[in-house]
Protein backbone atom coordinates (compact mmCIF):
# COMPACT_ATOMS: atom_id res chain seq x y z
CA UNK A 1 0.00 0.00 0.00
CA UNK A 2 3.00 2.33 0.10
CA UNK A 3 2.90 4.46 -3.05
CA UNK A 4 1.01 1.96 -5.22
CA UNK A 5 1.32 2.18 -9.01
CA UNK A 6 -2.27 1.01 -9.39
CA UNK A 7 -5.42 0.59 -7.32
CA UNK A 8 -7.89 -2.14 -8.26
CA UNK A 9 -11.32 -1.60 -6.79
CA UNK A 10 -14.24 -4.02 -7.38
CA UNK A 11 -17.76 -2.71 -6.75
CA UNK A 12 -16.75 -0.34 -3.92
CA UNK A 13 -20.22 1.18 -3.52
CA UNK A 14 -22.48 -1.81 -4.23
CA UNK A 15 -23.66 -2.48 -0.66
CA UNK A 16 -23.60 1.09 0.61
CA UNK A 17 -26.17 3.84 0.92
CA UNK A 18 -25.64 6.85 -1.37
CA UNK A 19 -23.92 9.01 1.27
CA UNK A 20 -21.38 6.37 2.26
CA UNK A 21 -20.88 5.37 -1.37
CA UNK A 22 -20.08 8.98 -2.26
CA UNK A 23 -17.58 9.14 0.61
CA UNK A 24 -15.83 5.97 -0.56
CA UNK A 25 -15.68 7.20 -4.14
CA UNK A 26 -14.26 10.55 -2.98
CA UNK A 27 -11.59 8.64 -1.04
CA UNK A 28 -10.69 6.56 -4.09
CA UNK A 29 -10.44 9.66 -6.29
CA UNK A 30 -8.35 11.47 -3.66
CA UNK A 31 -5.93 8.55 -3.34
CA UNK A 32 -5.66 8.30 -7.11
CA UNK A 33 -4.66 11.97 -7.32
CA UNK A 34 -2.50 11.94 -4.18
CA UNK A 35 -0.42 8.95 -5.29
CA UNK A 36 -0.62 9.87 -9.01
CA UNK A 37 -1.68 6.32 -9.70
CA UNK A 38 -3.92 4.45 -12.10
CA UNK A 39 -7.18 3.16 -10.69
CA UNK A 40 -9.19 0.34 -12.18
CA UNK A 41 -12.72 0.57 -10.82
CA UNK A 42 -15.17 -2.20 -11.65
CA UNK A 43 -18.80 -1.20 -11.21
CA UNK A 44 -22.33 -1.67 -12.48
CA UNK A 45 -23.26 1.79 -11.18
CA UNK A 46 -23.61 3.99 -14.28
CA UNK A 47 -23.74 7.13 -12.10
CA UNK A 48 -20.01 6.80 -11.38
CA UNK A 49 -18.94 6.89 -15.03
CA UNK A 50 -18.89 10.70 -15.50
CA UNK A 51 -16.38 10.94 -12.64
CA UNK A 52 -13.87 8.68 -14.41
CA UNK A 53 -11.17 9.93 -16.80
CA UNK A 54 -11.82 7.03 -19.18
CA UNK A 55 -14.40 4.28 -19.31
CA UNK A 56 -14.09 0.80 -20.77
CA UNK A 57 -17.05 -1.54 -21.00
CA UNK A 58 -17.18 -5.29 -21.32
CA UNK A 59 -20.22 -6.69 -23.10
CA UNK A 60 -20.43 -10.37 -23.95
CA UNK A 61 -16.70 -10.73 -23.37
CA UNK A 62 -15.73 -7.88 -25.70
CA UNK A 63 -13.93 -4.83 -24.30
CA UNK A 64 -14.77 -1.39 -25.71
CA UNK A 65 -13.88 2.22 -24.90
CA UNK A 66 -16.50 4.92 -24.52
Q: What is the domain partition of the chain in residue ranges?
A: 6-65
- Residue 1: its pLDDT value, please? 64
Q: What is the CATH number of domain 6-65?
A: 3.40.50.300
pLDDT digits (tens, 9 = 90+) for 34-65: 989 999 999 999 889 999 999 999 889 999 88
- The confidence band for 4, taking pLDDT boundaries of 50, 70 and 90, is confident
Residue 10's contacts (CB-CB under 8 Å, 6 or more residues apart) are: 42
Q: What is the dihedral of CA 15, 24, 55, 35, to 10 degrees?
A: -150
- Residue 32: its pLDDT value, please? 92
Amino acid sequence: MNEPSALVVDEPTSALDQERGASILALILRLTAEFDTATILVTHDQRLLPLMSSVHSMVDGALSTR
